[in-house]
Amino acid sequence: MFKRAFDVLCAALGLLILLVPGLLVAAWVKLDSPGPVFFRQERVGRGGRLFRIHKFRTMRVDAPSLGPQITIGADPRITRSGQWLRASKVDELPQLLDVLRGEMSLVGPRPEVPRYVALYPAELRERVLSVRPGITDPASLSFRHESELLAASDNPEQTYVEQVLPQKLQLSADYIRRATLGRDLVVILQTLRVL
């Protein structure tokens, strides 16, 4: 209950503070490449419920038909504005709307697409999906250079499924087991420092 109140307060304050910069980013995205400002994608939330996550669009509109769901290194589908938005993680800021809507939390396991959630081991699936997914978490911090890691692989999809995803799931499960508001504040401060 207190975590939800904290999330709503911080998300509302964040959206208010970032309103003007957000409008500038939206204009940049729109001018840089044709298509919508926001990217929406179906993700799996708490209890296995599907929802649509919001991000500033960083790729060409036809990107899903041109390559895999994971992004690898210097992916040619990424727009010029998208390169900076991804590197700075500013593309994630619209998820504050998802926090207000109750679909997400500030801190929690990152929500995955259904395709990858189907690969979760049953015991970890239940634990990871028992809480609201978050904008940031310890796994996101540990794998903030995931795209470069996958680019170095001969088979990025296989590397993600067999190496990266299991480690992320374990970090998420560990976070959930020890989650407190104090730990959430530490993760938020670490995220801000990394950015």
38-44 and 50-56: which strand pairing? Answer: antiparallel
Alpha helices in 33-121 (DSSP H): 80-88, 95-100, 114-117
> Looking at residue 103, what is its pLDDT?
97
Bridge partner residues of 38 (DSSP): 56
CA dihedral 187, 81, 8, 40 (to 10 degrees): -110
pLDDT at 43 over 80: yes
Instruction: Report the SS3 class of residue 49.
Output: coil
The rounded percent of the chain whose pLDDT value lies above 70 is: 99
Q: Report the share of the chain in percent with pLDDT over 90.
A: 76
Q: What does the block give as tokens for 190?
A: 């670490």
Q: How high is the pLDDT of residue 153?
A: 85
By CB neighbour count within 10 A (0-12 exposed, 13-18 middle, 19+ buried), where does 96 fall? buried
- Name residue 103's amino acid: E
Give the rounded distance of the alpha carbon of 168 from its chain centre: 13
Whole-angstrom Cα distance, residue 168 to residue 126? 15
**Contact of 35 with 47, CB cutoff 8 Å:** no
Strand-pairing partners, residue 42, are 52
The region of weakest confidence among 2-6, 52-56, 133-137, 156-160 is: 156-160
Model confidence band, residue 157 (pLDDT cutoffs 50, 70, 90): confident
Q: Write down the mean pLDDT value for the chain.
A: 92
Q: Does residue 56 contact residue 39 with C-beta atoms inside 8 Å?
A: yes
The end-to-end CA distance of the chain, in Å, is 28
**Model confidence pLDDT, tens digit, residues 173-193:** 999 999 999 999 999 999 988
> Residue written as tokens 């929406």?
40
